[in-house]
Amino acid sequence: MACSNIIVTGGAGFIGSNFVHWVVDNQPGVHVTVLDALTYAGNKENLAGIPEERMTFVHGDICDAALLEGLVPDADAIVHFAAESHNDNSIADPAPFIRTNVEGTFQLLEAARKHGTRFHHISTDEVYGDLALDDPARFTEETPYHPSSPYSSSKASSDLLVRAWHRTYGVPITISNCSNNYGPRQHIEKFIPRQITNILCGIRPKLYGDGQNVRDWIHTEDHSSAVWTILTKGQLGETYLIGADGERNNLDVLRAILERMGKEPDDFDWVRDRPGHDRRYAIDSAKLQRELGWRPQHTDFSLGLDDTIRWYADNEDWWRSAKDAVEAKYAAQGQ
């Protein structure tokens, strides 16, 4: 479908802002309206450099039905990134996750239903629970849901709402469930940027549990191109998994960061594990590649990691003011 005017919820966050940059850089005829509440994870600076004529920024809450009524009628599509997304925070206080991820998705779906607006929902592989470390299987679109945390449960709930609004009301939807994104502009509470900024600050990095937990990493630019492909070519009502065959355990990722930043591979501290910590995620993106012709471009994790380290080193003003508070919060949790 043609999309010349899209709403991107959560467009000042990590993967949302990277998607906005990707669209502006690669789709010259598209205007983007960013709707973001600018919670701690949203940063308007993430949108710096985007020409004013290509983007409109709206500071607001996706739960605000009246606000949505003023935006959605003029849009060809809603691309829904907005979410509370940090597992540790969901364990400490689940309430914001239910409000944003469930109620917020409901309000957006109601607006899309009223105006017949195309709706693409960004979700996570965490809705599927986890896999055993020695299991050769990977998640597919047919994998049963088995969420482990308040965060993943709230995302599973929102996925089910999206499917119900398609089946019951005919809302033109697609869903994508993605593996762990990495790249520039990611909040420093997350695994890779926390380790990088710790080293830049002279703080010894910390690693949960035994470090064997496996995540399936994808560069955020590859995620952005996949989302656009699904938005414009995907079959309505379908779910597509986005991944780039990037399985690595946390210990190996941390050691790669340490070595690239001139440190010894064991120059870190072990800390107690997160409650209910999922062991392994792994995405099979064969359906997306086979049916829509998408392919990842950033398949060399080492190069992507080098670029990410360079970005945080070159953009200290972007993250420095939040660093002390993030580390104080983790210290209070013994992590």
For 282-297, the pLDDT digits (tens) are 999 999 999 999 999 9
How far apart (Å, rounded) are the C-alpha atoms in residues 323 and 325?
Answer: 6
Q: How confident is the model at residue 328 (pLDDT cuts 50, 70, 90)?
A: confident
151 is catalytic: yes
pTM of the model: 0.94
Is 126 annotated in the active site? yes
In the chain, the percentage of residues whose pLDDT exceeds 70 is: 99
State the Cα–Cα distance between residues 220 and 195, nearest whole angstrom. Answer: 18
Each residue's pLDDT tens digit, 187-224: 999 999 999 999 999 999 999 989 999 999 999 999 99
Q: Which of 36, 84, 126, 247 is catalytic?
A: 126
3-state secondary structure at position 28: coil
Catalytic site residue from 151, 182, 240, 312: 151
Assign 90 a pLDDT band (cuts: 50, 70, 90).
confident
Rounded distance between C-alpha atoms, residue 321 and residue 325, angstroms: 8
- Render pLDDT for 219-246 as a digit per residue (tens, 0 to 9): 999 999 999 999 999 999 999 999 999 9
Using only C-alpha atoms, the chain has a radius of gyration, in whole angstroms, of 19
From 61, 84, 125, 221, the catalytic residue:
125
